[in-house]
């Protein structure tokens, strides 16, 4: 019987002090091991019997994994940095506004204190709020393995619902967001039932603006397909064009047509399709204004 | 499953335990320590009824493994009033404003308020609402809870 | 509800006559707090009710010759407030106090709670821990005694034969060296069918346990004694390590199920938890 009061699954708990030690544990236990950081996804998965590990490998004692720093190359957020610290880091630069909006919207204080950005990405929920902003802001993730590391664009990292291109012996160490071009504006909005809730749908836009011309634009939506996705049709429609209400409406229609929503406990296909067009326009306007000037 | 040793301070008192790794902080507090002020509401992190402060920060104890807070300072609702029973001003405010109906969300709300006021002594109504959005109340409609917390501002 | 005939005997000889006349056809009722709901939902449709709730002869709590006797028609409220029980067997008073709510307790009786034989019967675990015996009246006026630990045969199935009536219980008055404690876990503080309960009665000589009685409710088809836990405790000095062993053993002895009030896993976890808690409380010390 699914139990939400106690954890019925029995497992051993390991808190390696270094990545090397963590890799040793993963090598020893293989499929029977599950990595855990804040636990806000892993513990519910244990409670709902979605996973059945014999060993939990906690990353919270490994120094360096929660570091956040910024340089001319961009913003680097450690995979185990708490969401509240990641949010604070994104507040600094206008180039990270969409991610800041998203982290603000994930919202509940307790989850911001416990959860990590790395965890949000590795769980790879189709409704993950951090993914659409990272898609439009050209985010990259670094995955370490026992002998080195590799970097992936976010687009290549998330491969399907709750599926990421990460091997069993890899550990995410860092999320990188480049500084972005000049005159960039970005924004993110989500629709949910209550203030602290999983998204019905979400939208992120990052654009580069020159007076009344949209130089380039990236659009991504979450919770409206098997994975968060970019709407390249709408992006092409707007790229290089002079903005006006008609063009924006055309782009909104293209967004609506480009998504593949389903009906589930949180919303219906019809609602998602209709509202996607509406919040896309709102998000675009916000990004446009942030890029300097009136819409 | 190997038990592991851990220690922490609960409401100022040093405690140590041998716990099974699958012990949740919420159950350690409620059952081992018989501190039943921390509530089991949903068990899945949605209602906030299990909120406790770990090193001053609110967390969901129903999703926290006890071993994950080894070495931490825990504050539960039982630790909010003074040892001699004198209520915290936040608790007085909840009483004065009649911000309690069934009382189930109250421990979580009081601890959230404490954490907020420690960081921001004079929060606006919007800031308060934003801060408590992870704590559900089925009875009051939140209005008096927000008023109670606002009245604690400087 | 279908039509039912109803008779209220005045005294024990009336009762004997009725038992002879109706043999097993009649249903004995006292407070009716189980029977009426069952009749309302169609589970039971007795032809004839014999109401013993007003029989003074069956309503008593007394102490005599080193034992305590309680009549079957004694209400749970009377048990909860009884100075005899509060002084001598507080674990029984504790269980009585937590049965149902004040309204239920004013009507429900000890006899009904035991004869109904729900695995969750609140008075059973303390009575098992007190080594209680059941007094039974058979047709023809004969009486017999059965140890409560042999009274429950299965889910809602007791040693009572057709036509027999449970008339009371007795248990040896606990001496000063007996320490007891009781906990009921429910979904609420009142009006709550038991999720798991533990009653312990420990005969202590200093730190050593001479005799242990440990009973559990709602975690098996019947209210049960945890015999293996008792054997583990007897003759030993009770310390933290022994308590951990007891917790592991009690989990093996009980056989809880998952139902709307809780899962098997939770019942198992919480029974072990309250076993430890009650032994510590009985000894009134940190171990």
pLDDT of residue C140: 85
Q: Is B49 on the interface with A (CB under 8 A)?
A: no
| Structural contact between residues B136 and B50, judged by C-beta atoms closer than 8 angstroms | no
- For chain B, the chains sharing at least 3 beta-carbon pairs closer than 8 angstroms are A, C
Q: Distance between CA A33 and CA B55 in Å, rounded?
A: 29
Question: What's the rounded Cα separation, in Å, for the pair C188 and B144?
Answer: 26
User: Quick one: C17 exposed, middle or buried, by C-beta within 10 A (0-12, 13-18, 19+)?
Assistant: exposed
- Candidates A1, A7, A13, partner chain B, best to mutate (most B CBs within 10 A): A13
Helix (H, G, I), strand (E, B) or coil at B77: helix
Distances B109 to A114, A249, B120 between C-alpha atoms, Å: 18, 44, 16
> Residue A54, exposed/middle/buried by CB under 10 A (0-12, 13-18, 19+)?
middle
Q: Which positions 241-270 of C are in contact with B (Cβ < 8 Å)?
A: 270
Is the minimum CB–CB distance between A39 and chain B shorter than 8 Å? yes
DSSP C175-217: -TTEEEEEEEE-SSSSS---SEEEEEEEEEETTEEEEEEEEEE
Which tokens sit at C197?
Answer: 């309960």
Domain with CATH 3.30.390.50 in chain A: 184-290
**Would you tell me how many other CB atoms lie within 10 Å of the CB of residue A292?**
14
Distance CA(C198)–CA(C194), nearest Å, equals 11
pLDDT digits (tens, 9 = 90+) for B102-141: 999 999 999 999 999 999 999 999 999 999 999 999 999 9
In this structure, the strands spanning C61-64 and C48-51 are unpaired
Q: Taking residues C251-259, what's their average pLDDT?
A: 97
The percentage of chain B sitting over the pLDDT mark of 90, rounded to a whole number, equals 98
Look at the block and give the residue holding tokens 């709407």.
A231
Mean per-residue pLDDT over chain C, rounded: 95
Percent of chain A topping pLDDT 90 = 91
pLDDT tens for residues A14-28? 999 999 999 999 999
CATH 3.30.465.10 positions along chain A are 68-177
Confidence band for B99, pLDDT divided at 50, 70 and 90: very high
- Tell me the average pLDDT across C12-41: 91
For the four alpha carbons of A187, A190, A191 and A192, in that order, the dihedral sign comes to: negative
Q: How far is B152 from chain C (nearest CA, A)?
A: 33
What residues of chain B lie within 8 A of the CB of A40, using their CB?
45, 60, 63
The pLDDT of residue A241 is 95
Q: How many CA atoms lie within 13 A of A187 on its CB side?
A: 16
Whether the Cβ atoms of residue C197 and residue C184 lie closer than 8 Å to each other: yes
- Give me the pLDDT at residue A182, please: 81
Whether residue C69 contacts residue C132, with contact meaning beta carbons closer than 8 Å, is answered with no
Residues C270, B32: C-beta atoms closer than 8 Å = no
Per-residue model confidence (pLDDT) at position C1: 57
Other CB atoms within 10 Å distance of the CB of residue C66? 8
Q: How far is C268 from chain A (nearest CA, A)?
A: 11
Least confident of C21-30, C133-142, C186-195, C230-239: C21-30
E strand or H helix at B117, and its extent? helix B106-119
Helices (H) then strands (E): counts for chain B: 5, 5
Q: What angle do CA B112, B118, B121 make, to 5 degrees?
A: 105
Cα–Cα distance for residue pair B93/B97, rounded to 1 Å: 6
CA C18 to chain CA mean position, Å: 27
Which residue, chain included where needed, has tokens 């244990």? A46
Residue with tokens 């009507």: C107
Q: Cβ(B80)–Cβ(B103) under 8 Å? A: no
HSE of A167, CA atoms in CB hemisphere, 13 A: 11
pLDDT at site C23:
76
Confidence grade of residue A1 (pLDDT, cut at 50, 70, 90): low
Neighboring chain C residues of B31 at a CB cutoff of 8 Å? 270, 273
State how far residue C265 is from chain A, nearest Cα, in angstroms.
7
> Are the C-beta atoms of residues A129 and A199 closer than 8 Å to each other?
yes
pLDDT of the residue at C24: 75
The partner residues of C29 in beta bridges, in order of sequence, read C51
Helix ranges (DSSP H) in chain A: 19-29, 42-47, 83-92, 97-106, 109-114, 117-123, 131-136, 154-157, 232-238, 245-258, 269-290
Q: How far apart are CA B84 and CA A12, in angstroms?
A: 41
Take residue A169 and report the two structure tokens written for it. Answer: 């012996």
Which residue in A has a C-alpha nearest to residue C269's C-alpha? Answer: A6
Region A195-222 average pLDDT:
94
**CA–CA separation, C113 vs C132, rounded Å?**
14
CA C209 to chain centre: 24
Domains of chain C, start order: 5-51 (3.30.43.10), 56-172 (3.30.465.10), 178-283 (3.30.390.50)
Q: Which residues contact A248 (CB under 8 A, 6 or more apart)?
A: A281, A284
For residues A213 and A219, what is the distance between their CA atoms, to the nearest angstrom?
16
pLDDT-based confidence at residue C226 (cuts at 50, 70, 90): very high
Domains and CATH numbers, chain B: 4-79 (3.10.20.30), 89-151 (1.10.150.120)
- A3 interface with C at CB cutoff 8 Å: yes
pLDDT of C22: 86
Tell me how long chain B is: 154
| SS3 (DSSP) at B19 | strand
Q: Are B67 and A5 inside 8 Å of each other by CB? A: no
Q: Which pLDDT does position A161 carry in this prediction?
A: 95
Suggest the residue from B3, B5, B17, B21 to mutate for an interface test with chain A (most A CBs closer than 10 A): B21
From C257, which residue of chain A is nearest by alpha-carbon distance? Answer: A1
CB contact under 8 A, A5 and B115: no
Which chain C residues are closer than 8 Å to A5 by Cβ? 263, 266
C264–A contact, CB cutoff 8 A = yes
Give the confidence band of A95 by pLDDT, cuts at 50, 70, 90. confident
Q: Does C273 contact B34 at a Cβ distance shorter than 8 Å?
A: no
For the stretch B63-86, pLDDT in tens is 999 999 999 999 999 999 999 999
Which chain B residues are closer than 8 Å to C275 by Cβ?
none
The top-level CATH class assigned to A68-177 is alpha beta
* SS3 sequence of C124-157: HHHHHHCCCEEEEECCCCCEEEEEHHHCEEECCE
- Tell whether the model's pLDDT for residue A235 goes beyond 60: yes
The Cα–Cα gap between A142 and A174 comes to: 5
**Alpha helices (H) along A137-268:** 154-157, 232-238, 245-258
Q: What CATH class has A12-58?
A: alpha beta
SS3 of residue A42 by DSSP = helix
The CA–CA distances, whole Å, from A253 to A207, A233, A249 equal 18, 10, 6
Q: Is the pLDDT of residue A295 over 50?
A: no
Chain A: give the shortest CA distance to residue C204, in Å: 34
Predicted pLDDT at B44 = 94
pLDDT attached to residue C287: 54
Which chains are adjacent to chain C, needing at least 3 Cβ pairs under 8 Å?
A: A, B
φ/ψ of residue C28, rounded to 5: -85, 135
Contact yes or no for B36/B23 (Cβ under 8 A): no
Predicted TM-score (pTM) of this structure: 0.91
CB < 8 Å to B42, chain A: 4
Rounded CA separation C230/B81 (Å):
41
Structure-model confidence comparison of residues A93 and A214, the more confident one: A214
DSSP strand pairing (A68-71 vs A55-58): unpaired
pLDDT tens for C179-196 read: 999 999 999 989 999 999
Res C4: pLDDT: 87
- Identity of the residue in A6, A10, A195 whose CB atom sits nearest the CB atom of B1: A10
Interface test with A, best of C248, C259, C265, C273 (most A CBs within 10 A): C265
Distance separating alpha carbons of residues A124 and C126, to the nearest angstrom = 53
Token pair in block for residue A263: 């009906």
Angle at B40 between CA B77 and CA A126, to 5 degrees: 115
Enumerate residues 6+ apart whose C-beta is below 8 A from C122. C95, C96, C98, C99, C113, C184, C194, C197, C217
Q: Which of B2, B27, B57 sits opposite A6 (nearest CB)?
A: B27
For domain A184-290, give the CATH superfamily.
Answer: CO dehydrogenase flavoprotein, C-terminal domain (3.30.390.50)
Render pLDDT for A137-168 as a digit per residue (tens, 0 to 9).
999 999 999 999 999 999 999 999 999 999 99
Please, are residues C22 and C50 in contact by the beta-carbon 8 Å criterion? Answer: yes
């Amino acid at each position: 019987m699914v139990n939400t009061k106690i954890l019925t699954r029995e497992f051993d708990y390991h808190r390696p002090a270094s990545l090397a030690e963590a890799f040793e544990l993963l090598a020893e236990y293989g499929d029977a091991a599950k990595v855990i950081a804040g636990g806000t996804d892993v513990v519910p998965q244990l409670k709902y019997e979605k996973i059945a590990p014999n060993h939990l490998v906690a990353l919270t004692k490994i120094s360096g994994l929660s570091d956040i720093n910024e340089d001319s190359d961009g913003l680097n957020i450690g995979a185990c940095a708490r969401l509240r610290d990641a949010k604070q880091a994104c507040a600094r630069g206008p180039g990270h506004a969409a991610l800041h909006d998203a982290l603000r919207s994930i919202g509940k204080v307790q989850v911001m204190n416990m959860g990590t950005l790395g965890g949000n990405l590795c769980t790879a929920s189709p409704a993950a709020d951090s993914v659409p902003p990272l898609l439009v802001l050209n985010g990259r993730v670094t995955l370490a393995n026992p002998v080195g590391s590799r970097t992936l664009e976010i687009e290549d990292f998330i491969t399907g619902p709750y599926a990421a291109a990460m091997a069993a012996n890899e550990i995410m160490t860092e999320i990188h967001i480049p500084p972005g071009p000049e005159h960039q504006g970005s924004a993110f909005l989500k629709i949910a039932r209550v203030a602290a809730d999983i998204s019905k749908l979400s939208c992120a836009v990052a654009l580069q603006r020159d007076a009344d011309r949209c130089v380039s634009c990236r659009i991504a939506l979450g919770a409206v397909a098997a994975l968060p996705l970019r709407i390249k049709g709408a992006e092409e429609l707007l790229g290089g064009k002079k903005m006006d209400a008609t063009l924006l409406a055309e782009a909104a229609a293209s967004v609506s047509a480009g998504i593949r929503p389903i009906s589930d406990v949180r919303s219906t296909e019809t609602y998602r399709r209709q509202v996607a067009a509406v919040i896309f326009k709102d998000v675009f306007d916000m990004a446009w204004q942030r890029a300097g000037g009136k819409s | 499953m190997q038990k592991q040793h851990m220690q922490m301070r609960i409401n100022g008192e040093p405690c140590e335990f041998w716990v099974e790794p699958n012990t949740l902080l919420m159950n350690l507090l409620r059952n081992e320590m018989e501190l039943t002020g921390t509530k089991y509401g949903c068990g899945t992190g949605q209602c906030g009824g299990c909120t406790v402060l770990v090193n001053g920060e609110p967390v969901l104890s129903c999703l926290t493994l006890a071993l994950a807070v080894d070495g931490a300072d825990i504050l539960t609702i039982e630790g909010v009033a003074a040892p001699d029973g004198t209520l915290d001003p936040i608790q007085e405010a909840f009483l004065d404003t009649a911000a309690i109906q069934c009382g189930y969300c109250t421990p979580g709300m009081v601890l959230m308020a404490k954490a907020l006021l420690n960081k921001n002594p004079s929060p606006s109504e919007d800031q308060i609402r934003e801060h408590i959005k992870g704590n559900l109340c089925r009875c009051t409609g939140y209005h008096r809870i927000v008023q109670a917390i606002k009245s604690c501002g400087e | 509800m279908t039509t039912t005939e109803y008779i209220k005997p005045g005294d024990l000889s009336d009762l004997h006559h009725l038992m002879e006349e109706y043999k097993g056809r009649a249903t004995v009722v006292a407070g009716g707090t189980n029977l009426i709901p069952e009749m309302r939902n169609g589970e039971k449709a007795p032809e004839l009710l014999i109401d013993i709730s007003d029989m003074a002869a069956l309503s008593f709590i007394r102490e005599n010759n080193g034992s305590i006797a309680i009549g079957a028609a004694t209400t749970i409220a009377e048990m909860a407030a009884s100075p005899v029980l509060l002084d001598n067997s507080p674990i029984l008073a504790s269980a009585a106090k937590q049965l149902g709510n004040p309204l239920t307790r004013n009507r429900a009786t000890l006899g009904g709670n035991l004869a109904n034989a729900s695995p969750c019967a609140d008075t059973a675990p303390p009575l098992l821990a007190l080594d209680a015996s059941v007094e039974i009246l058979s047709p023809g006026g004969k009486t017999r005694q059965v140890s409560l630990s042999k009274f429950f045969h299965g889910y809602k199935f007791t040693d009572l034969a057709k036509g027999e009536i449970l008339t009371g219980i007795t248990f040896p008055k606990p001496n000063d060296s007996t320490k007891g404690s009781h906990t009921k876990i429910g979904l609420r503080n009142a009006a709550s069918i038991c999720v798991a309960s533990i009653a312990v009665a420990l005969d202590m000589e200093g730190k050593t346990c001479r005799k242990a009685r440990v009973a559990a409710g709602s975690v098996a088809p019947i209210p049960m004694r945890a015999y293996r836990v008792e054997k583990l405790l007897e003759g030993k000095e009770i310390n933290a390590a022994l308590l951990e062993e007891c917790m592991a053993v009690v989990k093996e002895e009980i056989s809880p199920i998952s139902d709307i009030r809780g899962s098997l896993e939770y019942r198992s976890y919480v029974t072990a938890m309250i076993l430890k808690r009650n032994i510590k409380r009985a000894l009134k010390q940190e171990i």
